[in-house]
A and B are shown apart, each in its own frame.
Chain A
Amino acid sequence: MLIKKPISIKSSEITSETNYLNRRNFLKSSTLIGGSMISSSLIGANLPDEPFAELKDVQPSKYSTDEKINNFLDVTSYNNYYEFGLDKDDPYKNSRDFQSRPWSIEVTGEAEKTGVFDIEDFIKPHLLEERIYRMRCVEAWSMVIPWVGIPLADIIKTFKPLSSATHVKFETLHDRERMPGQKSRVLKWPYREGLTIQEAVNPLTIMAVGMYGRALPNQNGAPIRLVVPWKYGFKGIKGIVKMSFVKSQPKTSWEMAAPNEYGFYANVNPKVSHPRWSQARERRIGSGVFASKQPTQLFNGYGEQVAHLYDGLNLRRHF
């Protein structure tokens, strides 16, 4: 099914929509660059303002895994983004017309520099890096995704948080018209997430603006989302419009919805079961119908970089 857009759009956008639906040619195609968007400055990141447009000057990272990357269709058609519906393919189906421009991000709280920033200005001072990370969903499936983003530490530095800031809180856009899933009361909107400041500035934590070398598709959180690879996927808040430096541990959406099932930390941990299912093993998406599940690793295998953050913390209690 091809959904036609209004006639007023640019031809480059039609190309990207066609490619969106035509997955086999998509990755091979090099014709859908949002040419006009890739412009000006040589320093810093430029964010093309349409989903799937190619990102320029993306640096590789030593934090990337060399595991087999999941295919683009799986990553973009199977995920949770309740703002666009509850089924795994709802984000893919229902986010097509979502407009992620203009977009601004409000920075508030315990920091020297606060205010409302256009996404371009928010991104501009930084370099883009590709981070190929494992993503472990709390529902016991996993993927390997080539994100493109900026270390959150670099972003945080520019706002000069005060020493009183112990946590960073994030919020997703709250707009029932643009995000029809918010008409359901399944979660308290806006979607809220948070990290300790130490977690936020850990080198693994990134704000992603792309994947597969291109700007983020709507269903994966365009235009900007959090990626915290050692935590369950729901910590990776999408469509971020607000970042606050706060003095205490913020309440997160899933914590508010089911405090006995979803904690603030949500670190991947095979030994701490979800109350209703085991977290010991995970299904790697794309591994085929006859592949068995693989063992889940503590901190999703990123213990070397993050285990020290939780020294002395009872991971069973602070799940």
Chain B
Amino acid sequence: MLTAKSARKFFKLPVFLTCLLPFLFIITDAYEYTGSLGANPIENIQDRLGNWGLRFLLISLAITPIRKITGQAWIILFRRMLGLFAFFYVLLHFLTWLILEQSMVLPAIIEDIITRPFITIGFLALLILFIMAATSTTNIKKKLKKRWHTIHRLVYGSSALAVWHYWWQVKKDITEPLIYAVILSVLLLYRLWYKYKSQKLMSLKTKNPA
């Protein structure tokens, strides 16, 4: 089994660079000679960034179940990085909407956030990720102690809002948001099941003290 130290040493940079690839592909597509963003480049950028934000959210949520199932403890080291990448892509998705799609016209932006439910929930999801990113350093984690876990459990809410945000904005075909919804459900149900199982184990232990 890989030790935490060697895993960090060997995988940190490759994982980081891999996570950056979707962003790099957008850059190369924006450049005429290496790709194309199609007829509606703003929509293209916005959709891709949003999709990757959601994917990284789900990937970071998959870390704990994978660790528990495989027993590979070291992969937990990458959870924070993956979570921060989720925030990175979601933030860029939001900024694309703010700057390119809405051209920073404040009244229109505020109106949309208030009156368009799918934008409202997307914005809420972003706020949660922002709070999590802002409290993600080791120092803050130590300072917040137990409260840190409470704050970071908000990720479940944020992911559900993100899937809902996607679901609500598609015109008709819900296949893709449905796939994300199923994956998220599996990841959350696993946690419930695991909690139930360990509670049962605990109660067994208290009943029959060894």
* Interface pick from A29-37, A95-103, A144-152, A287-295: A287-295
| Minimum CB–CB distance for B209 against chain A, Å | 58
CB atoms of A258 and B172 under 8 A apart? yes
Report whether A293 and B103 are in contact in the complex, using a CB–CB cutoff of 8 Å: yes
Q: Is A276 an interface residue (CB 8 A)?
A: yes
In the complex, the answer to whether B39 meets A77 with C-beta atoms within 8 Å is yes
Given contacts A184-B173, A276-B169, A292-B103, contact A285 B39 (CB under 8 A): yes
Per the bound structure, the CA–CA distance linking A43 and B136 in Å amounts to 76
CB distance from A253 to the nearest CB of B (A): 10
Query: Chain B residue with minimal CB distance to A258?
Result: B172
CA distance A88 to B38 in the complex (A): 10
Q: Is the CB of A78 within 8 A of B38?
A: yes
Task: Given A86-B173, A184-B173, A292-B103, verify A276-B117 contact (CB < 8 Å).
Answer: yes
Q: Is residue B116 contacting chain A, with contact meaning CB distance below 8 A?
A: yes
| A74 adjacent to B173 (CB under 8 Å) | no
List A contacts of B30 (CB < 8 A). Answer: 289
A286 with B116: CB separation less than 8 A: no
Residue from the list A86, A184, A276 in contact with B168, Cβ < 8 A: A276
B40: contacting residue among A186, A278, A283, CB under 8 A: A283
* Chain A residue with Cβ nearest B104: A292
Size of the chain B interface, CB-CB below 8 angstroms: 24
Contact A88 to B39, CB < 8 A, known contacts A186-B172, A276-B117, A278-B112:
yes
Closest to A257 in B: B172
CB pair A77–B40 under 8 Å, yes or no, is no
Q: Tell whether, in the assembled complex, residue A78 and residue B117 are in contact, meaning their CB atoms are under 8 Å apart.
A: no
**A77 near B38: Cβ-Cβ < 8 Å:** yes
| A319 located at the interface, meaning its Cβ lies under 8 Å from any Cβ of chain B in the complex | no
Q: Within residues 181 to 198 of chain A, which ones have a CB less than 8 A from any CB in chain B?
A: 184, 186-187
Q: A289: which of B100, B115, B116 is its contact (CB, 8 Å)?
A: B100
Question: Does B88 interact with chain A (Cβ within 8 Å)?
Answer: no
How far in angstroms is the closest Cβ of chain B from A277?
A: 6
Q: Report the minimal beta-carbon distance from A269 to chain B, rounded to whole angstroms.
A: 17
| Residue numbers in A under 8 Å from B118 (CB-CB) | 276
Cβ contact within 8 Å between B39 and A289:
no
Of B102, B117, B171, chain A has the most CB atoms within 10 Å of the CB of: B171
Count of A-B contacts with CB under 8 A? 51
Is residue A73 within 8 Å, beta carbon to beta carbon, of the partner chain?
A: yes
Within 257-308 of A, Cβ neighbours of B (below 8 Å) are at: 257-258, 276-278, 281, 283, 285-286, 289-290, 292-293
What are the residues of chain B within 8 A of A277 when measuring CB–CB? Answer: 116, 169
Query: With A and B bound together, what is the CA distance between A73 and B59 in angstroms?
Result: 37
Q: Is A88 within 8 A of B116, CB to CB?
A: no
A21 to chain B, nearest CB (A): 14
Nearest-neighbour CB distance to chain A for B101, whole angstroms, equals 8
Given contacts A184-B173, A258-B172, A276-B169, contact A289 B103 (CB under 8 A): no
What residues of chain B lie closer than 8 Å to A139, measured between beta carbons?
A: 171
Q: Find A73's partner among B39, B108, B111, B116 (CB 8 Å cutoff).
A: B39
- Indicate whether B35 reaches chain A with its CB closer than 8 angstroms: no
Within 8 A of B (CB), among A134-154: 139, 141
Query: Across the two chains, which residue of chain A brings its CB closest to B172?
Result: A186
Residue on A nearest B42 in the bound complex, by CB:
A289
B27 to chain A, nearest CB (A): 13
Task: List A residues 72-111 near B (Cβ within 8 Å).
Answer: 73-74, 77-78, 86, 88-89
CA distance A293 to B38 in the complex (A): 17
Contact A286 B39 (CB under 8 A): yes
Residue-wise, chain B 72-94 has the 8 Å CB interface mask toward A (1 for contact) of 00000000000000000000000
| Separation of A86 and B103 alpha carbons in the complex (Å) | 28
Q: A184 vs B30: C-alpha distance in the bound complex, in angstroms?
A: 32
Tell me, rounded to whole Å, the shortest Cβ–Cβ distance linking B93 to chain A: 15
* In the complex, B41 has a CB within 8 A of chain A: yes
B105 at the interface (CB under 8 A from A): yes
Query: Contact string, B156-182, partner A, CB cutoff 8 A, digits 1/0?
Result: 000000000000110111000000000
Beyond A77-B38, A276-B169: 16 further Cβ-contacts under 8 Å? A73-B39, A78-B38, A78-B39, A88-B40, A258-B172, A276-B116, A278-B112, A278-B115, A278-B116, A283-B42, A285-B40, A289-B30, A289-B100, A290-B100, A293-B101, A293-B103
Q: Give the interface of A toward B (CB within 8 A).
A: 73-74, 77-78, 86, 88-89, 139, 141, 184, 186-187, 257-258, 276-278, 281, 283, 285-286, 289-290, 292-293
